[in-house]
Amino acid sequence: MEIVILGVYVADAAYRCDRMPMAGETLIGRGFTLGPGGKGSNQAVAAAKAGGDVGLITRIGQDTFGAMADAVWDAAGVQPLVTRDAARATGSAGIFIETGTGQNAIVISPGAAGAIDPEQISTHADAIANAAVAMTQLEQSVEAARAFLQTARDGGAATILNPAPAADIDDALLGLCDYVTPNETETEALTGLPVTTVAEAEVAAKALMARGVQKAVIITLGAQGALAWDGTTAQHVPPLRAGEVVDTTGAGDAFNGGFAVALATGAPLVEALAFATATAALSVTKEGTAASMPTRAEIDALLAR
C-alpha cells in the first residue's frame, strides 16, 4: 500500500436545517441522511477515489453501521486494516448542515474506534513502515496517533497529521510530522493566535512550524483557500469553484485525501496543494462526506479547466 491512514469510521446522521439550533430549541429540519463518515475513513475514501492505493487502520463494531463501513470501503477500493470489536458498537456522528451556506457543526462519538490503541497500531507496523505516505487525525487517541507517526517515521514514510479535532498535542508529536494540516479553528487552538485572514494564517503557520513540524504547515481556510508555509516560502492557494456549494462537511477530508495521493506520486508541494484544493472543491458540490468524494477523472477535469 502506498498510503496508510489511521483514523475513525463512524456513521454520520446528518440533518439539514435553515440555521443552527440554539440551546433548548427544537427546529423542523429540511432533510436527513444516514451515511458513512469519520475523518480517517473519509480521507481513505477520498484518496482511493483519487487514484491512491490506500489502506485504512480503524476499529468498528459488529453491527449495522459496521456493515455500512465495509460497503463503502469496498466500493471505493480502500483496503481495510480493521479490528472488528465484538464488545463495542461502531461510532456515530450528529451533523447539522445549514441549507443556505452549506456550513456544518458536528458532534462525534467514536464508539469502537475510541479503543484504538498503540498495541493495535503495532499489528500493522509493516504496512505503515512500507508506505510512501502515512496520514492520521485526532479522532482516535493522541497516543495511538503518536505510535502510528513514530512507526511511519522509523520506516521512512512521509507523515501527515490532520489535527482534527483540535487536541492538546506536544512538540514531540509535531516533530514526527512532515506535514500538519489544521483548519482555522484547529490552528487557533494549537497556536493561541487568531486565524480569520490569509495574513493571520501565515503568522500562525510560522508559529506552528516553529514547534517542530518537519516540512510544511498547511492551513485550510474554507472559502479563502489554503495557506502553506514550508520554512522559507508562504504560498496562498486560492479556492477553486467547481459548482454550487451544497455541503462543506468532509471538505477538509477531501483536501487531505487528495494531498496524500499527490505526495505519494512524488508531486512537489505546489502541485500537491492544487490537487488537494481541486479534490475539496468538488466534494462540496455534493451532499455527504464519504459519498461526496470525487473520482480521479473529475479531479483531472477540474484541474485542466
Residues in the chain: 305
What residues numbered 136-165 form the site for ligand RIB, per CB under 6 A? 139
Size of the site for ligand RIB (CB under 6 A): 15
**Spatial CB neighbours of 166, under 8 Å, sequence gap ≥ 6:** 138, 182, 185, 186, 189, 190
Q: Which is nearer to ligand RIB, 106 or 132 (CB)?
A: 106
∠ CA 161-10-115 to the nearest 5 degrees?
Answer: 70
Nearest one of 290, 43, 296 to 161, comparing CA atoms: 43
Binding mask 263-302 for ligand RIB (x = CB under 6 A): --------------------------x-------------
Cα–Cα distance measured from residue 108 to residue 11, given in angstroms and rounded to the nearest whole number:
9
194: preceding bond cis by omega (within 30 degrees): no
Q: Which residues are catalytic?
A: 253
State whether residue 247 is helix, strand or coil. coil
Nearest one of 34, 57, 54, 37 to 249, comparing CA atoms: 37
CB of 34 to ligand RIB, least distance (A): 12
- Count other Cβ atoms within 10 Å, centred on residue 243: 11
Binding mask 1-40 for ligand RIB (x = CB under 6 A): ---------x-x------------------------xxx-
Q: Which is nearer to ligand RIB, 72 or 132 (CB)?
A: 72
Tell me the residue type at 148: F
**Spatial CB neighbours of 126, under 8 Å, sequence gap ≥ 6:** none
Q: Which is nearer to ligand RIB, 202 or 253 (CB)?
A: 253
Q: Which is nearer to ligand RIB, 178 or 253 (CB)?
A: 253
The x, y and z cell numbers of residue 92, run together, are: 456515530
Binding mask 91-130 for ligand RIB (x = CB under 6 A): --x------------x-x----------------------
CB of 210 to ligand RIB, least distance (A): 27
CB of 22 to ligand RIB, least distance (A): 22
**From the list 90, 183, 220, 249, which residue makes contact with ligand RIB (rule: CB under 6 A)?**
249
Residue 267 — φ and ψ, nearest 5°? -65, 140
Q: Which is nearer to ligand RIB, 69 or 209 (CB)?
A: 69
Residues of this chain that interact with ligand RIB (CB under 6 A) are 10, 12, 37-39, 42, 93, 106, 108, 139, 249-250, 252-253, 289
